[in-house]
Structure 1
Amino acid sequence: MNRKRHVWIIVSAALVSGLLVYGVYALQLRQVKFQETVDVVVPVRFVAAGERLTADMLGVKRIAKASFVHEMSLDAKALSGMEVIVPLGANEPVLSWKVDKFRLLPGNDQSTFQIPRDYVLSVSNGIRAGDKVMLYLSGEGAESARLFADSVTVASVKTSGNMEIDDMDNSNLKSLANSNKEGMYAARRDANGMIDSINLNLTEAQWLKLDSLCKAGKSKVVIAYSSESLDIAAAGEEAP
């Protein structure tokens, strides 16, 4: 009886020791994982929205690999020349959504199309370059509806004299880049000039759809300013 009890004590002790060893191993493994680091790109100083990044503005910061997210940049050369969309703090990892190469240029799957005047029923005079707009279809040829599910970017808006419409003293683009909603509103109030032509960044499929619906003249598009432009500015103001 005592012998069996002694055997159970030995087995129990062995199991407890094994669990302790495994626990220590798991803890050490986790510690090693957190100690693994990666070098991410950071600004060496505060960078205001609208500034273009240069090599002397960028450095590296070592962070725990467990804290790394895929939006962080590892290549300073790839960021050189990028425009800052929202302000960046010193030593703050640069996230991909906070920078862009040329915001007014079309994306990889887009082209810039000047929308023919005959295709446009109305366009909001508050629209400026860099804004997000929604397109709606109206006319006898089709039921009134939103043309595209998502908003599209305005590449430029010009007067009949081929002048870009904006307030030169308080540029809408500068206010948008600095996430200044008040400045954006003031720029729209103070800018003069009727919109004669508007250029939009569209995919090929979007343009072909718009063209096929409007070229017969029975249907036209209404181009409306989207609050998404203000949402972008608000996101910049709330960013740390």
Structure 2
Amino acid sequence: MNRKRNLLVTITAGLLSGLLVYGVYVLQLRQVKFQETVNIVVPQRFVAAGERLRADMLGEKQIAKASYVPEMSLDAGELLGAEAIVPLGANEPLLKWKVGKFRLLPGRDQSTFQIPRDYVLSVSSGIRAGDKVIVYGSGAESESVRLFEEPVTVASVKTSGNLEIDDMDDSNLKAMASNDQAGMYAARRDANGAIDAINLNLTELQWLKLDALCKDGKSKVVIAYSSDSLDIAASMVEEEAVR
């Protein structure tokens, strides 16, 4: 009886020792994984939604490899010229879904407004969807002013037939169907046509300011192409060169 009891105790002690050794091994393995690190891209300061990323805005942060997820960005170069879709906090991991280079939809606090023809004095003929534009107010009885401090995004430009101005040889609709964003943007830039209607992504306050200026007919807006749009084109050229 005592022999059986001693045998059972020995076996139990052996199993417990084995489990203890295995537990220590798992903890050590997990500790090693956490000690491995990776450098991810982070904003060096707060970045507001709609702001375009520049090299001086981005830095690196070292995190445990076990905390890394594929949505985190590792290369700051691929983010240059991208626009923040949502506000980005300083030193927080910069997830890829939070930025985009071909942003045509309105931001969280914006809506897409078609600017009435009676409100428009002139529109730069080379403007296409996705471009950044500067909006000025001009009137015979008032001084010309820049309406908004920051450039705004063009959602679409259309002809008198309510058709999106497009490249007939290489339609942006085909590029959209194949999820080729670069092709979609390039097609819109090569398109030709007279601009009859333009849609802008504006906040409510921006629209109310524009409407208050123009609704009495004494002032109109001048919509000018912004050099910020060149940043997008330049980044596209750099990406194609790398490929």
Same fold by TM-score, threshold 0.5 exceeded?
yes
CA distance in structure 2 between the aligned counterparts of 1:204 and 1:117, rounded to whole angstroms = 19
| Structure-2 change in CA distance of 1:137 and 1:169 (3 Å) | same
Deviates further, 153-162 or 142-151: 142-151
Q: Percent identity?
A: 68
How far apart are residue 118 of structure 1 and its match? 0.6
Out of 176, 179, 182, the position equivalent to 1:178 is: 182
Name the CA shift for 1:73/1:199 in 2 (closer, same or farther; >3 Å): farther
Cα distance change on mapping 1:124 and 1:73 into 2, 3 Å: farther
Q: CA–CA distance in 2 between the matches of 1:202 and 1:220? A: 17
Q: What do the CA deviations read for 1:144-195 (whole angstroms, capped 9, x no partner)?
A: 1211111111111111111100213245796x94399xx95x865x533211
Per the alignment, residue 231 of structure 1 pairs with: 231
What CA distance in whole angstroms lies between the structure 2 residues aligned with 1:192 and 1:235? 23
- The structure-2 alpha-carbon separation of the partners of 1:108 and 1:148, relative to structure 1 and needing over 3 Å to count, comes to same
Q: 1:85 to 1:193 in 2, by over 3 A?
A: farther
1:115 — aligned with what?
A: 115
- In the TM superposition, residue 143 of structure 1 has moved relative to its aligned partner by 1.0
Partner residue in 2 for 1:134: 134
Summarize the alignment of residues 202-217 of structure 1 with structure 2, pairs less than 5 Å apart: 202-217=202-217
SS of the equivalent of 2:232 reads helix
Distance 1:222-1:36 versus aligned 2 partners, 3 A rule: same
Partner of 2:12: none
* Compared CA separation, residues 129 and 85, structure 1 to 2 (3 A): farther
Q: Which residue of 2 aligns with 1:161?
A: 161
SS in structure 2 opposite 1:107?
coil
Q: Which residue of 2 aligns with 1:220?
A: 220
Name 2:69's counterpart in structure 1.
Answer: 74
Which contiguous aligned blocks of 4+ residues in structure 1 show a shift greater than 6 angstroms?
Answer: none
In the alignment, the residues of structure 1 paired with residue 172 and residue 223 of structure 2 have an alpha-carbon distance, to the nearest angstrom, of 18
Q: Are 1:134 and 1:223, in contact at CA under 8 Å, matched by a contact in 2? A: yes
User: Counterpart of 1:206 in 2: which secondary structure?
Assistant: helix
* Paired residues of 2:133 and 2:223 also in contact (CA < 8 A): yes
Q: Counterpart of 1:7?
A: none
Q: Over aligned residue pairs, what C-alpha RMSD do you find?
A: 4.3
SS at the partner of 1:136?
Answer: strand
Distance change (3 Å), C-alpha of 1:213 and 1:94: closer
Structure 1: which amino acid aligns with 2:182?
N
Distance 1:168 1:137 in 2: 34
Q: Which runs of 5+ in 1 are unaligned?
A: 1-31, 41-64, 79-83, 87-92
5 Å-filtered alignment, 1:38-49, equals: none
Aligned residues: 167
TM-score, length basis structure 1: 0.55
Q: Unmatched 5+ residue regions in structure 2?
A: 1-31, 41-59, 73-77, 81-92
| 8 Å CA contact retained: 1:141, 1:218 | yes
**Equivalent-residue separation in structure 1 for 2:62 and 2:236 (angstroms):** 23
Q: Distance in 2 between matches of 1:231 and 1:171?
A: 23
- The amino acid that maps onto 1:74 is V
**TM-superposed deviation, 1:134:** 0.9
Question: How far apart, in 2, do the equivalents of 1:206 and 1:140 lie?
Answer: 22
**Which residue of 2 is the match for residue 5 of structure 1?**
none
